[in-house]
Amino acid sequence: MLHFYIFIPFLAALVIGLAANKVKRIHTGWLVLPVPALLFILFCTKLHPLAEGKAVKSIANWIPSLDIQLSFYLDGLSMLFSLLITGIGSLVVLYSIYYLSRKEQLTHFYVYLLLFMGSMLGVVLSDNVFVLYTFWEFTSITSFLLIGFWFYRERSAYGAQKSMLVTVFGGLSMLGALILLSITAETNSIRMMIANRSDIINSDLFIPIMILLLLGAFTKSAQFPFHSWLPDAMEAPTPVSAYLHSATMVKAGLYLVARFSLIFNGSNLFFIIVSGIGLITLCLGSFMASRQTDLKGILAYSTISQLGMIMSMLGFGTGPAILAAIFHIFNHATFKGSLFMVTGIVDHETGTRDIRKLGGIYTLMPISGTLALIGAFSMAGVPLPIFNGFLSKEMFLDSSLKLGQTTGIAETFAEWIPVIAVVGSIFTFVYSMYLVFGIFFGKQNVEKLEKKPHEAPFGMLISPIILGILVVLIGLLPNLVNEPILAPAAAAVTGDLPHIHLAFWHGFFNPALYMSLIIVVIGALLVFTLRKWQPIYKWIPGKLSTDHLYQKMIYGLLKYSKTSTDFYMTGSLRLYLSIILLFMVAATSVFMYLTDGFVISFNDLAPVTWPEVLVGIVMAAAAFATIFMTQRIAAIIVIGVVGYGLSLLFVFFRAPDLALTQLIVETITVALFLLCFSHLPALKKSDKKPAEKLVDIIIAASAGALLTIVAISAHSSKSFHSIADYFIDKSYKLGGGHNIVNVILVDIRGLDTLFEITVLGLAALGIYAMIKYRDKGDMNQ
């Protein structure tokens, strides 16, 4: 059943790609909308079984020899993310119908979106680590396509490339961790790894596994110092930002940490890295958000800070902290998704995202303004019972205070972590107020705008209204989602079902409430004095910003690559061939020396007769004679003697099929050479200097001598048992043929042979196309 859920988006992408252009009367989004909506309903039907502790499983063999199965597992954690992926996905598709013009490449957009949706479902539902990695990289590829959807814009292409480089680097690191995990736990199943976590914890590879896995999570979830890709990804269309960067892609790293928490939680290093990086990301993201002038830039850094807060709670590892993290993952998707959509509406209806040009448009866009107020106040954690963000933020503050009751390294930092949490939350309040009041209140600057502001069409408002209602509803009645969604998700992370009743009011003697009041008071002071302290951004972070370091590294790498490439890419074929041969000689010689490969043995050799010696002498003479030929045709004919001589040797050694193959190949090769070289000028006498000729002789002699030694050593040294006996024994049983070579090519290497034929076929088509269009003088077709 879960296989069906995951592959529905992929099948839908195929159908939409083939059929969308044929249905021109309606917006393509209407064809796509039923897909995430249906999936959301299907996942909701599984809430009741999960609440009773009944997980849903689905297994199918994929590569049994490598223990790789398409095994999918739906528990509380994967259910939470599946609901976000499909639920927010439905709202984003609905929003995009009104946001994106039908003049856009809508088919491409929705195909990419569906592929991304299916990939994210694959990530959160996969139980096999290598299947998880496969879908993980699919999300990187499809997000690259979505971020770069407006590929003709330089900033879009840059943002897509940057996100791809950073997340794929993290993905490769994660792959290393998953391979080590598979080796250590002797299984590819995540559930089995968690069940056998003692083997992993006691392994010498525990720390490398943890660090490599966290690299993958940090890059995907934009944690310091890998966060700089997210602001550049804001060049994507707003529906993409609302989907990828509030509810799905950036949450994948959080999912990864949460999923493997049962293995790593309890380690001091895990606490230091995850909580430390999370708190740094929280403070840095919230501090940098107030610097931005682009609305989506503010939301990008606010997302970074919120992700840092959730990551730090996952690092705390306590039951209340995990539940708070799960709750905030849910809440963040609601208020941040709404804010992204409202920002898109403002951009759509005013023609700008520059906050310096906006202000005072609440009276012109009252519905959008109200939605922005709800989303921003919830994000800021304003202590009112109608904002769900306050509840999860207060749980964050409370869990930071209770670290002193734990043991281990967390107790050492227990006094400082609440202070850092308050500092980060203060700037969270600042950028939230900066965003909403900078757009909708204050002095009106309508004359600076490209369009006269007006309220968006109702269809564009439906999605953010639904999210805004969820913000208020969950704020008032948080236990509506606690028992069916949050508690099972937290139980999947901690291993125990938490019994925590969510409520707004916990009495006057509540330190977390006092911390919230401090945040509001200091935050309000900073908002009112924003213009006075904002110049600090001219010096901080300056050249220490990770974006500056990224650009310096990338451009330095490009400069070094160009310099090194210009050194040897001179257009000289002689130089290219010399470099290739010298490298081959040096690398092979060193490897053979280190592995004692220089072995010469004359045992078990077939007898050599005079006809074979004579043919060998003729072949050597023909190869040597090509050096002195002054005409190309003569050189081709003479070198053909070498090939035909080899065919004769195959006959002498009783290999008629190889002899026939060699004859055909040699004949075709000679004919092709004649066709090509007939269009080239005749050979002329070499004008090389004696030193150059000497270098050529040394290189040629070295390459020839090495290949001779390799051939002799390959026969003389037997590092492994010969595979010949296997083929002799199995060729008839498996392939039903007495000709071993044919059975190898057709049956045992069947796929190899098929791909070789495919490559040759493609090459033939390419050659045919070039010849066909050459006569027409049109090579651009």
Q: Is residue 778 classed as helix, strand or coil in its secondary structure?
A: coil
Residues 462 and 342 in one domain: yes
The answer to whether residue 526 sits within a structural domain is yes
Chosen domain end from 241, 259, 277: 259
Report, in this order, helix, strand and coil percent for the chain, each rounded to 5. 75, 0, 25
Q: How many CA atoms lie within 13 A of 451 on its CB side?
A: 14
Distance CA 300, CA 147 (A): 14
Would you place residue 497 in the very low, low, confident or very high pLDDT band (cuts 50, 70, 90)?
low
Q: Is residue 354 classed as helix, strand or coil in its secondary structure?
A: strand
List, in order, residues 6 or more apart from 681 with CB less than 8 Å away. Answer: none
Is-contact 190 127, C-beta < 8 A? Answer: yes
Three-state SS string across 61-121, please? Answer: EEEHHHCEECCEEECHHHHHHHHHHHHHHHHHHHHHHHHCCCCCCHHHHHHHHHHHHHHHH
Alpha-carbon dihedral sign for residues 489, 495, 498, 504:
negative
Residues 361 and 510 in one domain: yes
pLDDT score, position 780: 45
The answer to whether residue 282 sits within a structural domain is no
The answer to whether residue 154 sits within a structural domain is yes
DSSP 267-325: -HHHHHHHHHHHHHHHHHHHHHHTT--BHHHHHHHHHHHHHHHHHHHHHH--HHHHHHH
Question: Tell me: the pLDDT tens digits for 376-432?
Answer: 999 998 888 889 989 999 999 988 888 877 666 767 777 889 999 999 999 999 999
Question: Tell me: the pLDDT tens digits for 96-137?
Answer: 999 988 888 888 999 999 999 999 999 999 999 999 999 999
Question: Tell me: the pLDDT tens digits for 359-369?
Answer: 888 988 999 99
DSSP 462-527: HHHHHHHHHHHHHHH-THHHIIIIIHHHHHHHHSS-------S---SS-HHHHHHHHHHHHHHHHH
Stated pTM of the model: 0.81
Residues 378 and 471 in one domain: yes
Phi and psi of 529, rounded to 5°? -105, 20
The answer to whether residue 44 sits within a structural domain is yes
Is-contact 478 488, C-beta < 8 A? Answer: no
Residues 450 and 343 in one domain: yes
Q: Is residue 532 classed as helix, strand or coil in its secondary structure?
A: helix
pLDDT score, position 354: 87
Task: Indicate the residue type of 375.
Answer: G
Token reading at 499: 């019994």
The answer to whether residue 729 sits within a structural domain is yes
Tell me what percent of the residues of the chain surpass a pLDDT of 70: 95
Reply yes or no on whether the pLDDT at 146 is more than 90.
Answer: yes
Chosen domain end from 492, 515, 538: 538
**Cα R_g (the chain), whole angstroms:** 33
CA 54 from centre of chain: 32
Tell me what percent of the residues of the chain surpass a pLDDT of 90: 40
Is-contact 297 228, C-beta < 8 A? Answer: no
CA 230 from centre of chain: 13
φ/ψ region of 447 (left if φ > 0, alpha if ψ in -120 to 50, else beta) reads alpha
Token reading at 658: 């190889």
Distance CA 547, CA 527 (A): 26
Residues 233 and 356 in one domain: no
The answer to whether residue 62 sits within a structural domain is yes
The answer to whether residue 569 sits within a structural domain is no
Residues 4 and 149 in one domain: yes
Which range of residues forms the domain containing residue 779? 721-781
Token reading at 97: 């119908």
Averaged pLDDT of the chain: 87
Task: Indicate the residue type of 513.
Answer: L
Question: Tell me: the pLDDT tens digits for 305-363?
Answer: 999 999 999 999 888 899 999 999 999 999 999 999 999 999 988 888 888 888 888 98
pLDDT score, position 524: 92
Residues 247 and 106 in one domain: yes
Is-contact 4 56, C-beta < 8 A? Answer: no
Question: Tell me: the pLDDT tens digits for 442-481?
Answer: 888 777 787 888 888 898 999 999 999 999 999 998 888 8
Question: Tell me: the pLDDT tens digits for 53-109?
Answer: 778 888 888 888 777 888 999 999 999 999 999 999 999 999 999 998 888 888 899
Most confident residue range from 513-527, 631-645, 716-730: 513-527
| Residue of 60, 78, 51, 86 whose CA lies nearest to 3 | 60
The answer to whether residue 650 sits within a structural domain is no
Residues 334 and 253 in one domain: no
Residues 485 and 349 in one domain: yes
Chosen domain end from 492, 511, 538: 538
Residues 116 and 254 in one domain: yes
Residues 99 and 245 in one domain: yes
DSSP 588-632: HHHHHHHTT------TTPPP--HHHHHHHHHHHHHHHHGGG--SH
Q: How many separate domains does the chain show?
A: 3
Question: Tell me: the pLDDT tens digits for 638-694?
Answer: 888 888 898 998 888 888 888 888 889 888 888 887 777 767 666 666 677 788 888
CA 230-368-389 angle, 5° bins: 60
Q: Is residue 57 classed as helix, strand or coil in its secondary structure?
A: strand
Distance CA 44, CA 80 (A): 10
Residues 76 and 162 in one domain: yes
